[in-house]
Structure 1
Amino acid sequence: MKELGANAIRVYHVDPNGDPDECMKALADAGIYLFVDLDDFPTQIEEQSPIWSQKQVDAFKLTLDELQKYGNTAGVFVGSEVFTVANDSAASPYFLAAARDIGAYRDSKDYRRIPVGYSAADIAELCPMLRNYLVCREDESERLDSFASTPAGYPVPIFFSETGCNTVRPRDFDDLNTILGPEMTGTWSGALVYEWIEELNNYGLITYGKVPEGDTSNPSALDGFSRRGTPTPVNPDFTNLKSRFATLDPTGVALSDYSDRASEVTAPPCPNSTPIYCLGRLS
């Protein structure tokens, strides 16, 4: 990752009962920060039958307890593309409640104020209602700290949580010129390229090698791909991204740029109706 030029990664699932010290130190030594999903497959908020239960609360807290120890934990997600089509947007209150509860827990434990966010699918039919719904409350404790996908004019930091489309081969990552260039750095706070390990979806930047079908000697294997070993670049994608990163020098936004406008930053109005599709029509 250091050779590639990355300074941040997203980790979709972690084992809160494991010992991440060695890994977190290696990443910190390489100057790499983490955005981590608090859920796993048993505890994620489901699209079709969403719930936010005490079991989920406890699991999310356990993961936060472990990760807050590290200075390179840059943020956490309480949900990732919980719904991918407009008529499932009734799940919105559930991950918003998760953000509220985890934020309150973080503050009650006097942890560092690690941003609690949500990684959203791009659903044009719900803009701007969904993004306003997630941050419209005047009480900051009841809205997101960050949102990974949304247009300009938003009162919390936003960034691309997955970029790097592979429908055209080879991937040249040309979109990063704009995302990390002067056209967008005033609005967007960066991008995470999907993804590190090669899998069946062919998005990987590196591979740990394939595992023959029926071979049970590698316990880290999943869907025919190993998850451990020496990483081998998947080229030309790895080289293309490395070259792209090397040409970019985003300056970001200075704190002083906000000083004259801080009093003007207000939450957008809450939508008059909840962004829920009923029988295919917006209600």
Structure 2
Amino acid sequence: MKLSTLVSAASLAAVSSALIPLEVVGNRFVRPNTDADKDGEEFTIVGIDYQPGGASGYDESAGKDVLSDEDACLRDAFVLQQLGVNTIRVYTVNPWINHDKCMSIFNAVGIYVVLDVSSPFNALSRTDPGSTYNEGLLNRVFGVIDAFKGYPNTLGFFSGNEVVNDEKSAKVCPQYVRALQRDMKEYIKLHANRTIPVGYSAADDDTLRRAMWAYLECDNSDNDNDDASSNSDFYGLNSYDWCSGRDNWQTSGYGQLLDDFEDSSIPVFMSEYGCNVNSPRTFTEVSGGVYGDLAKAFSGGLIYEYSQEESDYGLVDIDDDGNVKLRTDYTNLQNQYNNITLPTASESDIKSDAPKAPKCGKSVVSDIDSSFQTNFTLPDCPAADMLKKGGGNKNIGKIVSVDKKSSKYTIKNTQGDEISDTNIKIDSNNEINQPTGGSLDSASATAAASTAGSSSSGSSTSSGLAGANAVNVGSIAASLFGLLYMLI
């Protein structure tokens, strides 16, 4: 980064505070240092799957989605900030509407967003992927990329969710998932001003998820075109192996998960976890597994899910008026998050220790599952002209100022007591949110809400830090760093 560029940016009358975009380095996510001469630091996902209303609640014709309602996002940003979350996954968005307020709110509280590009009505078919890998699908996929590429807190995009989930889909779908990833990565290269990771979320099947990882991880440069790679930049597992109150490290199979993925050349994390066989969940898999020994190979995970839906996995209840009440699951998860220690490996150490991806070939996959597809010759992009010229979505997102600090909705703790101070805490140092060590069920809910957790690139402890009000040199540098990512 040139000093002259920083000075020019500093001359702007106002700079939007922005998280630093994450990068993939070897098999880990890394938060770059604001000083280009210094190492970045490992980033571990402490996350929640976020789709209030569920997939059935999405209606593209309604002109709204879960990231378009400023008050709902302020409400949930407060709840998630107090929980200690640094990442949310959003399954379905409308790419044609504005998301600036919500994405800026989550950015302001130190939360990254990873997004699925498909919708329930427009995705790769498990039974006949060739018929759905078409210009219509790519118009949506490229539209999502355009809508979210300008936000520094966009962590990445999922090309698919459980597209391969049985023996039949394992024979016909992998090529199309990899082809879609190729198209997405090429589109980002041509039309975004930074590299944004593209990955996949795998079904909860021991054999299929490892075979799909091998298929998507390997180096296919001998078959890929000159402009883009088709491999996954990261790999998510939807895994419900460890049920709190029933399992431990030995009975859950987490030891096998560690063995299966410890040689991964790309980041692996739980894109869904949090078995609900027993209720309320106590989430022993958090401190005892995902952020315990599994952290040797995994980069954290996303608990399923934020709001209570028909599947009974919710951390909070949202009533018909939009008010929130915390469930016991929320408090139990908060207690678990308060007892984790996040790794702090340096970028240099990650580079030196990361395994190298194997070359793609039949044995890479067939040694794991002999019935899995091993064809690495990918179908051509069905919308080559759109890929090169752009999808035409003029709704390009950007960070805006966050003027409101609380929503119109009430938030109650598990005892039913209304939390009086529900203002989000904005840290001027652009720091990543982390567990506060507190609880919204403590004697004073107001006091518990007065501190927001954050984590700088130099520290990943579990102690909470109050949002600073004074803008210092460090905060200016961080703001400029995030801004420059959006400009260059």
| TM > 0.5 fold call | yes
Structure-2 separation of matches of 1:156 and 1:282 = 21
What is the CA deviation profile of residues 118-172 of structure 1, one whole-angstrom value per residue up to 9, with x for unaligned ones?
A: 0001322336432221122242712111110272211111110001100112201
What is the CA deviation profile of residues 60-90 of structure 1, one whole-angstrom value per residue up to 9, with x for unaligned ones?
A: 0001001011011101101001132233212
Q: Which residue of 1 aligns with 2:87?
A: 8
Q: Which residue of 1 aligns with 2:342?
A: 250
Structure-2 separation of matches of 1:271 and 1:177 = 38
User: Please, which moves more after superposition, 161-170 or 150-159?
Assistant: 150-159
Matched, 1:169 2:251: no
1:94, CA displacement in angstroms? Answer: 1.1
8 Å CA contact retained: 2:262, 2:296: no
**CA shift in 2, pair 1:73/1:38, >3 Å:** same
Matched, 1:231 2:313: no
8 Å CA contact retained: 1:74, 1:115: yes
**CA shift in 2, pair 1:171/1:118, >3 Å:** same
Structure-2 separation of matches of 1:282 and 1:78 = 19
For residues 136-155 of structure 1, the aligned pairs below 5 Å read 136-139=218-221, 141-149=229-237, 151-155=261-265
User: Please, which moves more after superposition, 251-260 or 188-197?
Assistant: 251-260
Alignment gaps of 5+ in structure 2: 1-79, 222-227, 238-259, 374-488
**CA shift in 2, pair 1:180/1:125, >3 Å:** closer
What is the CA deviation profile of residues 169-200 of structure 1, one whole-angstrom value per residue up to 9, with x for unaligned ones?
A: 22011111144435222311110000011111
For residues 105-116 of structure 1, the aligned pairs below 5 Å read 105-116=187-198
Q: Which residue of 2 aligns with 1:271?
A: 362
8 Å CA contact retained: 2:202, 2:209: no
Structure-1 separation of matches of 2:209 and 2:318 = 40
Length, aligned pairs only: 260
8 Å CA contact retained: 1:170, 1:237: yes
Structure-2 separation of matches of 1:267 and 1:61 = 29
Structure-1 separation of matches of 2:127 and 2:165 = 11
**CA shift in 2, pair 1:268/1:241, >3 Å:** farther
User: Please, which moves more after superposition, 124-133 or 143-152?
Assistant: 124-133
The partner residue of 2:155 within 44, 50, 74 is 74
8 Å CA contact retained: 1:116, 1:144: yes
Matched, 1:158 2:268: yes
8 Å CA contact retained: 1:195, 1:205: yes
Alignment gaps of 5+ in structure 1: 210-225
AA aligned to 1:153 is: D
SS in 2 for 1:147: strand
Q: Which residue of 1 aligns with 2:100?
A: 21
Structure-2 separation of matches of 1:92 and 1:248 = 36
For residues 38-57 of structure 1, the aligned pairs below 5 Å read 38-51=117-130, 52-57=133-138
**CA shift in 2, pair 1:241/1:127, >3 Å:** closer
Q: Which has the higher helix share?
A: 2
Specify which structure has the bigger relative contact order, considering alpha-carbon pairs within 8 angstroms and separated by 6 or more residues.
Answer: 2
* Larger Rg belongs to: 2
Structure-2 separation of matches of 1:2 and 1:256 = 30
User: Please, which moves more after superposition, 131-140 or 15-24?
Assistant: 131-140
Q: Which residue of 1 aligns with 2:205?
A: 123
Structure-1 separation of matches of 2:301 and 2:365 = 29
SS in 1 for 2:81: coil
Structure-1 separation of matches of 2:372 and 2:178 = 20
**CA shift in 2, pair 1:112/1:250, >3 Å:** same
**CA shift in 2, pair 1:12/1:270, >3 Å:** same
8 Å CA contact retained: 2:282, 2:332: yes
Q: Which residue of 1 aligns with 2:391?
A: none
AA aligned to 1:85 is: D
Matched, 1:99 2:181: yes
